[in-house]
Structure 1
């Protein structure tokens, strides 16, 4: 779907004929790149458009979250390769002092590593030794943990012209001095603090501005992104992704396109969603900023906008002018999204020879299960095919660019088993494109979900307003053989040919869903990926054959990066389970076996064994039911419902080990302090906020009764005893 004229492109033609494909370079032809003379690195973080355009002249650096303008998460370095990967070992580590999810890919520039941890804390380290140079703590109020849908994570920094840009969980955008960590300026990106908006993605530098989106569609927000002058922090523009109530003025002209696709009875009170919580990419020659948008709020389109149309610009790819915020084109990957099929996944800019013609394309594997190849100048759909099991749509109609829906995706009248599930076929974990093989390496999720409409929607501030249309209990019963539902559940790593739209190879990486990390590929023909069991796995990029299996001892979700210092190549990864998929640790996970101490772990050739944390003794202990707590069947039933609707279950899984405390093993003193914690905020500094704004004393009593009942009904439990 294009809303502007076609333009002529002047981009590079760099062909590597491998497996019948032409591999792409970063945007910028040789003349363009030559015209930009790189700035000498006279100061820390001295990155500008000139250096970024000639990134391959300095392959020792990893300039951005996905390395270059191409956002391909690929390193040309080849010292570590398919013939010596078994020699890969420990170089150094840095302990972050955290126990929650770590999702960032570090940036490495001129021997300095910049990484982010929980809340948006920044670490600047010597990339050769791990020595701490400086840290920056935004000091986010612990109450913000409750506002985040999916943990207190952060996915990285942007470094530009001597500055480090980071968005803290509470939506504040910081510009820091790259040499010292000193704060230069800070801006609040959240325009409505009554809504539960947060920031977890990495900022994007584009057209002299720093751009950041926000998350929170599950909590009932209206998505937007904001741009600030990178130098001064002055407000530049704001782009709203979905319209507001049509009785009110619309803030940007593009909403005139979006508004007619929403019905007159749309649930404007629930925000509409579309939050741009992660992926962006920038083509400096075309002067286009690409933004992936999120799911609708609430999830079901037939509730979100009864009688409406596609509900633009939910689950879409937008191409904006980064200087003005005006839109050039859009493509909606999932019209009328009802399954949480965001398009916020990584977008990679490639030059591919397709049908004998070199095309300047954007490729994406969003959650909906189709792999898209778009003309990045115009938004024209070039191809789209399934990269995982899909049954909500039969195919993409190449004439209209729209999916051909099936009855299996419609759960408005009865529950339906839908492939992929709400986690998608590919989520936030970065994929990687190798210029040597021509393959995109996708960390793929192969499992469904039962979708059902179980309740009416009433907006409640501070609760899950997505309508929680997934029936996880049905899937659990199917796994145990207690329900006749055909369920496949595993993660795979697949090498996907974007030209011919087919997998070259794939390997199963986990039989538990969402337990495999992001992906790195390199000029040494290797692919690196971590997993929740606490291993870094190295594969042959051409065949998928395993080359190395390195025990780390901490679960890995983030994608590795590669860089070099003084002629030595390193592979680095942030290790720490968390996010939406790790509230409960599977028994084979590193979180269960070793705990979840956050680390940055770095590898090099001929290193030693990685130091692993001490094993956690999961002793079986008898549970002593709490005394003196008033309960009744009615209280227990209400408490169980409130435990979910108030999002207590978003952090705590009763009876299970995870990143938050197991509430069935509370001590008597904790039971006595229950009201002070839940309503009074006694532990808000630790991330356990007060819920007094949405829970009454009676509600807290009901939840307490439910937990007491669960403890009474659980005779024994594995509890952690550290050796």
Structure 2
């Protein structure tokens, strides 16, 4: 009865203020169906509006999960990271792959029904921080919605995959991209964008699900202070910035978390870091909190009107995005029922806030070793920042924990009302931050204002092995009421997959090293595993057809850890074998034999170059090229390892590629607006030196 009343209220609210929206869907996926979160289907990114990622299905449980087997699999046609959560409606499984492609499968048999390729230009990759990934679709009525890497929102016919409408949502010519999954709220498609490492201004926007017309746009940071702002909330935010920050956009992009709460009729979303990272180059006239970056913001879905905000990392200088999943729940705290949101952002503290008001309830560490802050104020939640962490003021490198990968990144957590625990994929990845006094805004690649070369590792195997040993992960079961860790499963590497909790007392998670696992939700005991052959970043989902429960997960290594850290600080790394895997009890399916790794021998030209050239090359490579080609010129599995480049001994070809953009159709655009030919030659000379160093070490 309560669900029916809530559904009726949600439908009546469709006549709310703001631009008119098309009538609600009456067939296919409706508001009422999303609200009810039908037991056997998975209709929204986090299954329900509250993004709990908890399934009430119990056919697969802690007593029989050992009998789980591969029902079917589908090879994917992209060799990049896979981060999507599939959706299932009416027997059809909808998912996205890298490069924003969409696939529709028969959820029972795996037969491909249709596919869609938006044909994203490969040169767009230079404007994407962390691989050409996509986290999934949204369903509404008889349409499937996807955000594309080049900034379009596309509506597809759910039966055929044909384009119904397509809209460019990012400003023309901007460095923004879309990697996140859209959300549907009362006939509105909500989507933001990525790009806070570039000169961009963040926003969340709503589009009419039927027509694609834009209904409202909520900017997360102010514009030019000399001009009228879009609302009082931005007039207040202007006071927390200084200097000419707006000329560099400000950052604060909304690249992932979007949660709707029918009980309060609010949309909650997280925002990314301020841009540039280094406050010395955005708050040039003095310190300021840089609102509304690194924050949770609550707005009204009908109009985009501001309601409240809570800033988790004021004046963020460490890339502590707050874009991680926001989960709504009803908890008993201090003997009283509280309707709350729960959040585990990059900065390492687990926040519990009042959903209606944003009041700070608690904030406790969910990882050990946090050193950027001494703790949070118990009343306000404001961090007590370690003075040494303000690297732009000390002008000394700061080894910070967490690093920019975050104590918890985008990989979704899940919450089980049965156990009262939140299951969080955590990372142990410190990072060196250093002020760059010579930094100047460029035109291509990251624009951070820091000198990342302070974190380069020497050609010393012992140092590298010790660094790799320190880079680990864990699956943490966190009690949001007590603020304590109930149990923890240590993991060999960071950036393991998202989680799924079920009423069968199970937690499912994939690992970076290629295992898909099931744990007992109450104790953390591992009950089952499957060798997936490739690293798993995505979160699993589950559904039921004809009385049988299925569990599905996207497989395919990539993402930020591969493209930035590469193989240098990872003890082991899996190849990319992109697939969709679907399991059920008693199934006996198998995968083809995985190909053996081919180890390439380093054979660089002799080292040359003056010390000055090598220093220029090191700094330029580290602050720009390492984003794709790996720390200290050691790449991962996705992008070319420049130590093996055929152009390494050919200065002319190197210039044609790096300066002129000879390979832009492969994603390698020209950098002539960022670097001079002399700097590009210096990069080549430094990579030659690095290749020779590693050859002496016996590395490959």
Superposed pair shares fold, TM > 0.5:
yes
Match of 1:16 in 2: none
- Does the 8 A contact of 2:506 with 2:520 survive in 1? yes
Displacement, 1:522?
Answer: 0.8
Match of 2:17 in 1: none
Pair 1:89 & 2:63 matched: no
With normalisation by structure 1, the TM-score equals: 0.88
Q: Give RMSD over aligned pairs.
A: 3.1
1:94-133 superposed matches below 5 A: 94-133=74-113
Displacement, 1:339?
Answer: 1.4
Displacement, 1:238?
Answer: 1.2
Kindly provide the CA deviation profile for residues 1-26 of structure 1, in whole angstroms up to 9, marking residues without a partner as x: xxxxxxxxxxx9xxxxxxxxxxxxxx
Match of 1:173 in 2: 153
Counterpart Cα distance in 1 of 2:361 and 2:608:
63
Displacement, 1:645?
Answer: 3.5
Pair 1:32 & 2:11 matched: no
Counterpart Cα distance in 1 of 2:541 and 2:639:
29
Counterpart Cα distance in 2 of 1:305 and 1:622:
45
- Does the 8 A contact of 1:519 with 1:559 survive in 2? yes
Match of 2:16 in 1: none
Match of 2:662 in 1: 682
- Does the 8 A contact of 2:537 with 2:557 survive in 1? yes
Q: 1:588 to 1:325 in 2, by over 3 A?
A: closer
Kindly provide the CA deviation profile for residues 567-621 of structure 1, in whole angstroms up to 9, marking residues without a partner as x: 211111111111111125549989955x312111111112236415433243463
Counterpart Cα distance in 1 of 2:96 and 2:344:
25
Pair 1:269 & 2:247 matched: yes
1:30-109 superposed matches below 5 A: 31-33=5-7, 46-55=28-37, 58-109=38-89
- Does the 8 A contact of 2:452 with 2:622 survive in 1? no
Displacement, 1:698?
Answer: 3.5
Counterpart Cα distance in 2 of 1:691 and 1:591:
32
- Does the 8 A contact of 1:620 with 1:719 survive in 2? no
Pair 1:640 & 2:618 matched: yes
Match of 1:3 in 2: none
Kindly provide the CA deviation profile for residues 551-576 of structure 1, in whole angstroms up to 9, marking residues without a partner as x: 11011011111112222111111111
Counterpart secondary structure, 2:587? coil
Counterpart Cα distance in 2 of 1:35 and 1:188:
32
Displacement, 1:60?
Answer: 1.4
Match of 1:548 in 2: 528
Counterpart Cα distance in 2 of 1:166 and 1:416:
40
Displacement, 1:483?
Answer: 13
- Does the 8 A contact of 1:655 with 1:717 survive in 2? no
Counterpart Cα distance in 2 of 1:367 and 1:190:
25
- Does the 8 A contact of 1:391 with 1:408 survive in 2? no
Counterpart secondary structure, 1:261? coil
Displacement, 1:289?
Answer: 1.0
Which 4+ stretches in 1 moved above 6 angstroms? 34-37, 474-479, 482-487, 587-591, 716-720
Q: 1:248 to 1:308 in 2, by over 3 A?
A: farther
Q: Which residue of 248, 257, 267 corresponds with 1:279?
A: 257
Match of 2:15 in 1: none
Counterpart Cα distance in 1 of 2:460 and 2:691:
26
- Does the 8 A contact of 2:439 with 2:450 survive in 1? no
Displacement, 1:530?
Answer: 0.6
Displacement, 1:198?
Answer: 1.0
Pair 1:322 & 2:301 matched: yes
Counterpart secondary structure, 1:296? coil
Counterpart secondary structure, 1:528? strand
Q: 1:504 to 1:652 in 2, by over 3 A?
A: closer
Kindly provide the CA deviation profile for residues 191-210 of structure 1, in whole angstroms up to 9, marking residues without a partner as x: 151x4111111112123211
Counterpart Cα distance in 2 of 1:47 and 1:64:
10
1:703-718 superposed matches below 5 A: 703-715=683-695
Q: 1:356 to 1:592 in 2, by over 3 A?
A: closer
Kindly provide the CA deviation profile for residues 242-266 of structure 1, in whole angstroms up to 9, marking residues without a partner as x: 1123123323332011011112x25
- Does the 8 A contact of 1:258 with 1:313 survive in 2? yes
Pair 1:614 & 2:588 matched: no
- Does the 8 A contact of 1:553 with 1:612 survive in 2? no
Q: Which residue of 474, 490, 501 corresponds with 1:508?
A: 490
Pair 1:662 & 2:641 matched: yes
Q: 1:485 to 1:571 in 2, by over 3 A?
A: closer
Q: 1:235 to 1:397 in 2, by over 3 A?
A: same
Match of 2:540 in 1: 560
Match of 1:231 in 2: 210
Displacement, 1:170?
Answer: 0.6
Kindly provide the CA deviation profile for residues 342-384 of structure 1, in whole angstroms up to 9, marking residues without a partner as x: 1110001111122222211111111111111111111111222
Counterpart secondary structure, 1:425? coil
Q: Which residue of 425, 435, 442 corresponds with 1:443?
A: 425
Pair 1:256 & 2:235 matched: yes
Q: 1:668 to 1:33 in 2, by over 3 A?
A: closer
Match of 1:347 in 2: 326
Residue range with higher mean Cα deviation, 28-37 or 308-317 = 28-37
Counterpart secondary structure, 1:254? helix
Match of 1:537 in 2: 517
Counterpart Cα distance in 2 of 1:613 and 1:277:
36
Q: Which residue of 186, 198, 202 corresponds with 1:207?
A: 186
- Does the 8 A contact of 2:44 with 2:183 survive in 1? no
- Does the 8 A contact of 2:533 with 2:577 survive in 1? no
Counterpart secondary structure, 1:312? coil
Counterpart Cα distance in 1 of 2:601 and 2:51:
49
Displacement, 1:435?
Answer: 1.8
With normalisation by structure 2, the TM-score equals: 0.90
Q: 1:484 to 1:228 in 2, by over 3 A?
A: closer
- Does the 8 A contact of 1:92 with 1:129 survive in 2? yes
Aligned residues between the structures: 681
Counterpart Cα distance in 1 of 2:699 and 2:466:
33
Counterpart Cα distance in 2 of 1:635 and 1:476:
18
Q: 1:325 to 1:496 in 2, by over 3 A?
A: same
Pair 1:243 & 2:217 matched: no
Q: Which residue of 572, 582, 603 corresponds with 1:623?
A: 603
Counterpart secondary structure, 2:550? strand
- Does the 8 A contact of 1:373 with 1:384 survive in 2? yes
Counterpart Cα distance in 1 of 2:356 and 2:128:
35
Displacement, 1:336?
Answer: 1.7
Counterpart Cα distance in 1 of 2:440 and 2:385:
28
Displacement, 1:513?
Answer: 2.8
Counterpart Cα distance in 2 of 1:711 and 1:470:
20
Match of 1:382 in 2: 361
Counterpart Cα distance in 2 of 1:45 and 1:86:
39
Counterpart Cα distance in 2 of 1:336 and 1:349:
26
Residue range with higher mean Cα deviation, 327-336 or 381-390 = 381-390
- Does the 8 A contact of 1:44 with 1:162 survive in 2? no
Residue range with higher mean Cα deviation, 202-211 or 139-148 = 202-211
Counterpart Cα distance in 1 of 2:471 and 2:134:
27
Counterpart secondary structure, 1:517? coil
Q: Which residue of 197, 205, 213 corresponds with 1:218?
A: 197
- Does the 8 A contact of 2:469 with 2:571 survive in 1? no
- Does the 8 A contact of 2:629 with 2:642 survive in 1? no
Counterpart secondary structure, 2:310? strand
